[in-house]
Amino acid sequence: MAQVQPALAAIALLALVSACAGDDATAPGPTATLDVVSGNTQTGPINTELPQPLVVRVTDASGHPVQGQIVNFRVTTGGGSMFAGAGSTNAQGIVQDRWTLGPDVGQQTAEARAVDNKTGAPIVFATFTATATGAGGGSGAPRFTVVGGNGQVAEVGTHIPEPVVFLAKDQNAAPVPGFTFTLRSLTCYSVDYSCSSYPGDDQLTNPTLITGTDGTATFTGWTLGTTTNIKCLGIYPGVSQPKFVDDDGLNEVCAVAEPGPPAQVVKRSPDNQLGLAGTTLLNMGVTVKDRYGNAVGCWWQTTACFDPNAPEVQVTFTPSAGGQASPSQATTERGVAYTNWTITSGTNTLTITVGTLSTTYAATGN
């Protein structure tokens, strides 16, 4: 046994030497690169901490992680701050910090620098960008105006004909580039032209936009809902939701949804009436509706009747032989058209026609 133990000790020593030699072969060299791992190009409200930390990885020229490397984090534009401002990499070469955005709406930047651990001189660095949005219309939010496509008129259920163009400016009237905002359909009331943040029935495609270098953004994805009314979209910072029922965003863009072509002719008076011959049945009428059930007429919630483009339609009244009625009328209030019908003895009919659509009233004269 005394001869075996020295042999085992020699083998163990050889293994230890080999292991040490292997470690020396793969030990990292000097810091060569600093790469962004995550946390870049985030969006958040001004004066708030971004949801994700800024994470970087330090490696040597061969791509091996460098442990114990000091990395400084600092804000370069926007006026924000870092939580720690510096840190040392772990065994994977990773270090991170938290970034609180400053008060400036738009693009803000920060920087991570690997520095000499003794002198503090910079070795390599990486840049982070973030988009700071206004907080619910506060002083840091840009001022939005609609410079194109506001007040359009289109048929319900259709795409508005022209793109909408927005312009964002700061408190000094300078364009605000790189500002992210989201359009949301509102519920509007034609009585007083007010809107609430309850979702409307419009359909929006790609409603989140970013202003360009000139502060403008163009929206082409607006399809009107299927109800006639004033239709408005609210502008909200980032992808934020409305904060309360009357929060209609930083501004609004509005359109008018007019009824579509006639699809239904609905009776609105009693049918099969009885009366003496020569009796005049008053206000025998119909309501003309589109395929969504909207009244087709020049009612004040869409366009005025004197507008040549108003959507009223002509209604024709044809009584049977001997009866009398005004021959035609355009739909007026809420898609209604009516006539006074004088009946004769016996069976009477009144056929009401709108284009290819028709309905018939019957009456008996004694």
**Does residue 248 share a domain with residue 196?**
yes
**Does residue 281 share a domain with residue 219?**
no
Number of domains in the chain: 3
Q: Which of 133, 153, 175 is the last residue of a domain?
A: 133
Cα four-point dihedral sign 152, 153, 158, 161: negative
At 284, the pLDDT band (50, 70, 90 cuts) reads: very high
At 312, the pLDDT band (50, 70, 90 cuts) reads: confident
Question: Percent of the chain beyond pLDDT 70?
Answer: 87
Whole-prediction pTM? 0.60
At 103, the pLDDT band (50, 70, 90 cuts) reads: confident
Question: Tell me, what amino acid is at 242?
Answer: P
Of the candidates 132, 244, 230, the one whose C-alpha atom is nearest the C-alpha of residue 188 is 230
At 314, the pLDDT band (50, 70, 90 cuts) reads: very high
Q: Which of 90, 113, 133 is the last residue of a domain?
A: 133
Q: Which of 216, 239, 258 is the last residue of a domain?
A: 258
Q: For position 353, which CATH number holds? A: 2.60.40.10
138 pLDDT more than 70: no
Note down the domain range covering 254. Answer: 143-258
**Does residue 283 share a domain with residue 241?**
no
- List Cβ neighbours of 141 (8 Å cut-off, separation of 6 or more): 105, 133, 134, 135, 237, 250
16 pLDDT more than 50: no
1 pLDDT more than 80: no
**Does residue 200 share a domain with residue 175?**
yes
CA distance 71 to 114: 4
**Does residue 88 share a domain with residue 48?**
yes
At 78, the pLDDT band (50, 70, 90 cuts) reads: confident
Q: Give the up-direction half-sphere exposure of residue 329: CA atoms within 13 A in the CB hemisphere.
A: 21
**Does residue 196 share a domain with residue 212?**
yes
Q: What is the pLDDT of residues 201-220, one digit of tens each?
A: 999 999 999 999 999 999 99
In this predicted model, which residue has the larger pLDDT, 299 or 318? 318
Q: What is the pLDDT of residues 316-325, one digit of tens each?
A: 999 998 999 9
Q: What is the pLDDT of residues 338-348, one digit of tens each?
A: 999 999 999 99
In this predicted model, which residue has the larger pLDDT, 153 or 8? 153
Is residue 173 a contact partner of residue 276, using CB atoms and an 8 Å limit?
A: no
Q: What value does the mean pLDDT take over residues 266-286?
A: 96
